[in-house]
Structure 1
């Protein structure tokens, strides 16, 4: 299929343009992308393996970290191989159904599940800091499993209509997507029908997942900081705040590109396409790798020690 306008209501394929205005350096751009992807795969698989095999790490925070690592792995695998195929082999074509499926997976995993697991971590910290005596009573293994299941079911219920809405839209403007992967707002802009309901639905779904989670996380940290600054000694302040530091970094890494991408697509109508595409790639590439560095290796001594021990004993 040529790079031209498509008058069909449902094109059989879309064409991923990559990063607009940067086509000449796609090969060079692909190198750091590939390294980040491999690092994310190795690191997150290591986290899952270490936490599964070490019974000393079978605690709520580590279980939620496992869930977040699993989400990061699926996000990376859903998008990065196709991006690299585009950069290396000009594999731009993506089937209509595959494109819609990718949109659903990206939004459900990034905006819903990852956000929900970060909220669960915030709840774990809230209970551990504000009332540590009941921490083990409240966050039992059964409760942790039910929380994880509830987060997944919430995303499925809220975002299940999304593929059908995209399926019903007529796409008669063009079949070219100026991105490296299929993205909801990018597809909406290709439709030649009224998309107000789709946009309202998207805004509502984002608020009820990532937006609401972010508000609850902020509320939990207000209570946490109020409790921390009520401690008698400055040493106790610093020790408790250091416990929260890694989680705060994960929150910033997860939400900053997410919100920026959403608001620029929704309200930044004059934003250059290559900037939108670049931010969209940060949204996909950075959190899976940085979450590992912040939470799994750099700031958590127990996981870091187990990781180094596994390497030196040739388990990998």
Structure 2
């Protein structure tokens, strides 16, 4: 009997035949109502769940899926997947780290260019019949700080250094001896050494609120912030205050705390560019992520090691011993 996969992701329908051709039976539930209904009606037959970081999979849902064996997360982030509940059940969890790095890096650089060169305001002016001579900074020779030098951060760094002749610094959980970029020991130090700051670190408790008032003040009134990672990394109230008071020059945001809701304060600001969490979306990235899910599922149900496992916490029973 083919394994049944509950698909919670809303953006991959064109590529789901990849999984169907591998013999998996799919139940599509992209909305909250469909998700709840699918778990209620089909919970006993679901072997795997396909989700993404912000959609996650919660402890009560895991408990309602008695035959669940594996959770596959599209993309690198898995912040809303209850890893403790998964560990306690003995589940396997995988992610898609690195598959969409090129797409996210392209979007980060596009947002940085649009923000620094003020493309939206220029475009709007021309459409109104105006012809303003808006003078804006160049990217060439500037200092770029990258918070999180994983696959996405590396892809951004290469574009910045080799495409725009920028000096690149980074802050990471660990210093990397395999890169030519300057390491900063704290986010504040990174901001102080940067003209532009790009947030590219995963979400979760380990990175929550790394970017706060102190960091933004270190970036300064000529500094720009781009966040294509997770909103939880930035203290939203501190960012809004810094933008409103012009303590930083501007921000470009692809992620928000309560998506799809976006604070009205951001919408009202002329020094902010907003996109609807689409940095990782491209035909190439989506196909690659679904193909990786397929390879992980095939490996798992064939009794082989998965390709991209996530380290899970100790089970509560073991942790208590």
Give the TM interval when normalised to the shorter protein.
under 0.3
Larger helix fraction of residues: 1
TM-score (normalizing by structure 1): 0.25
TM-score (normalizing by structure 2): 0.25
> Which protein, 1 or 2, shows the higher relative CO under an 8 Å CA cutoff with sep ≥ 6?
1
Larger strand fraction of residues: 2
